[in-house]
Structure 1
Amino acid sequence: MIKYFYTQNGRTSSVPNFCHDCWVKMTNPSNEEAELIAERMGVEVDDLMAAIDLEEKTRIELPENYTLIVVDIPSEEYRNGVRAYVTIPLGIIITKEAIVTICSEESFVLRNFEKNRMNDFSTRKKLRFVYQILLESALLYQKALYAIDRKRQEIEEKVRDDVEEEDLFSLHELEQALVYFATSIRENGNVLDRLTRYSRLERFPEDQELLDDAIVENQQAVEMTDIYRSIVDGTRQLMSTIFDNRLNNVMKILTSITLILAIPTVISGMYGMNVLTKYMPFAQTPFGFGIISGIVVVICLGLYVVLKRKKML
């Protein structure tokens, strides 16, 4: 799908066709659409479709007539019925005529530009647009990181009561998302670093402050990711420790019960042996069975008290 946007009188709106200084927004384009835009703007189709490959790496390339920038942006998907965070490539191609963004799906990063909610946004100021995209991406990463931490807190609160398999899957998804985020945000930082030395397009004086903001927010996202990875790892270790402790408690209780039940089993086994009754205590005594049963009960109760004091029960 292809959409065209153009800024006029400080307002960005959709236009029906390609025009000079417009923004071409391509979402999961077909090969025919890619060939159409590539021919119109004089770019390589492979560069135009680079961001459609989910394994594409972040980079900046400087062919003769245009600039290709590929960055990673956060996205959401559902795996095993659980909401998970991933990163997907976003391609940006800058030419003298227009700027093109290519993504495999609709992205929250571009939504504010499309809805005309961005201050000082203009399709004519292409390099500023790139800075704003990277700033929005960093802020969206931070928002996703806060959501990840809230989910971790919910799982941690359940640990005291009971943990279901769904919680374990959720925690694993959070760890996986943080790994993706850590790699992608650092790679975006490398792109920002290269943009500080970029001189092919006109850079307005106020753009430097915007670039600095994008660098600061991206670095903050890097630090947040590292912190939350450590916290999630601590939560996983806490869950593992609690599971081991609960298993130990169960094993202690079962062992104690086995010891108590072993007493009547051993005594009854002795009296069940094929030996002369005159050699067995209380065998010929009136109420001998009751006496033996009472002795067994006393021994069991005594052992119960000892185990209770030793916190084995």
Structure 2
Amino acid sequence: MIRIFKTVETTIQAIETFEKGCWIHVTSPTSEELHHISEALQIPMNFLTDPLDTNERSRIEVDERNVLIVVRIPLFNNEQDVAFTTLPVGIIYLDDVFLTVCAQDVEFFDKFMKGRVKNFSTQYRCRFILQIFLKAALRYLTYLKEIDTRAANIQAELHQAMKNQELIQLLNLEKSLVFFTTSLRSNELMIERLQKVSIIKFYPEDQEILEDVMVENKQALEMANIYSNILSGMMDAFASIISNNLNIVMKFLTSVTIILALPTLVASVYGMNVHLPFQESPHAFALTMGISFLLAGMSVFIFIRRKFF
């Protein structure tokens, strides 16, 4: 899908053709659409296809007149086991137009399309790049807080857990943090290199946004590292707790088995009916039951003293 936008005065409007100063947003493109854009704007085909690879890392590639910037943005999908992942977005900087290429139609760019981003204009391409980076860093921070909240909720359930479901949920959150940490680190390196690209020139009024981008990205990276370390330690601790909970249950069941085995032993012996004590007594049954309950009671007393229960 190809959508074209342009800032007219102070509003963002959708247009039908490529114009100077427009923003071209390409999502899930067909091969025909890619060839059309490549031929119309003289863009190398690999600039358009590389960002469609979900494993593409953050990087910058420069040719004679074009600049390709790949940045990884956070993505949330609650229907998947690993709900928080990242996705590459290609930013192609041309002389007259600005392109974004993404393998999926994500809501990340909705506010740009609706003109809800402060000081956003399709003509200010350098500022647009920084605004994308800033929005990505802020989105990382939002999702990191959500991951921390989910981990706290799982932690409350783990105290009584004896199954692996909660640990699997923590493992999925840890995978998300690995994705975030890797993407944030590569984004940080890419932002540093971006300042050295001669084709892209940032104006003095964009320096404040650039500083915000670097601060927010660094904060998100530190938070991801902290949460990852905490989550890793939490998983080790609660794996031991689950094992300990299972041991307690097994110890209780073993104690009950022993208690029930002693009366069963007495009853089995007296069931032989061959030269047994009290077999001539009219109180034989009562004596036998008394011995059984006495042995069971002694077992319970010993287990309580040894804190088996």
**TM-score, normalization: structure 1?**
0.91
The residue aligned with 1:252 is 251
For 2:152 and 2:223, the matched residues in 1 are separated by: 16
C-alpha contact 2:162 2:242 (8 A) present in aligned 1: no
Contact kept in structure 1, 2:267 and 2:288, CA below 8 Å: no
**1:131-176: CA deviations, max 9, x gaps?**
1111110111111111111111221222245577654443232121
Q: Which moved more, 1:8-17 or 1:213-222?
A: 8-17
1:41–1:97 Cα contact (<8 Å) kept: no
Partner of 2:86: 87
| Structure 1 residues 306 and 228: alpha-carbon distance in aligned structure 2, compared to 1, 3 A threshold | same
* 1:190 counterpart residue number: 189
How many angstroms does 1:245 deviate by?
A: 1.8
> How far apart in 2 are the matches of 1:214 and 1:309?
63
Task: Report the 3-state secondary structure (helix = DSSP H, G, I; strand = E; otherwise coil) of the residue aligned with 1:200.
Answer: coil
Residue segments in structure 2 that go unaligned for 5+ positions in a row: none
Q: 1:287: how far off?
A: 1.2
Asked if the contact 2:82/2:173 (under 8 Å) is kept, the reply is no
Equivalenced residue count is 309
Aligned 8 A contact 2:71 2:90 in 1: yes
Whole-Å separation in 1 of the counterparts to 2:102 and 2:162: 38
TM-score, normalization by structure 2: 0.92
Equivalent AA in structure 1 for residue 278 of structure 2: F
CA drift at 1:270: 3.4
1:191-231 CA-partner distances (Å, limit 9, x unpaired): 11101222213321011221111011111111111111122
Match of 2:265 in 1: 266
One-letter identity of the residue aligned with 1:117: R
Per mean C-alpha deviation after superposition, the further-off stretch among 44-53 and 264-273 is 264-273
Structure 2 CA distance for aligned equivalents of residues 61 and 122 of structure 1: 24
Q: What residue in structure 2 maps to residue 96 of structure 1? A: 95
CA-CA distance at 1:83 after TM superposition: 6.6
For 1:40, the equivalent position in structure 2 comes to: 40
Matched residue SS, 2:72 = strand
For 1:99, the aligned partner's letter is F
**Partners of 1:182 and 1:222 within 8 A in 2:** yes
User: 1:123 & 1:93 partners in 2: Cα distance?
Assistant: 13
In structure 1, stretches of 5+ residues that fail to align are none
Q: Would you say the 8 A contact 2:73–2:89 is kept in 1?
A: yes
Residue 177 of structure 2: SS of its match in structure 1? helix
State the Cα distance separating 1:109 from its structure 2 match: 2.8
Q: What code does the residue aligned with 1:73 have?
A: I
**2:154–2:166 CA contact under 8 A, matched in 1:** yes
Q: Summarize the Cα distance change of 1:296–1:287 in structure 2 as closer, same or farther, 3 Å threshold.
A: same
What is the distance in 2 between the residues matched to 1:34 and 1:139?
31
CA deviations over 1:95-144 (Å, ceiling 9, x no partner): 11111000011233322211101112121221111111111101111111
Q: Partner of 1:310 in structure 2?
A: 306
Deviation at 1:46, TM superposition (A): 1.9
Q: Which residue of 2 aligns with 1:233?
A: 232
**Aligned residue number for residue 19 of structure 1:** 19
2:289 pairs with one of 293, 297, 300 = 293
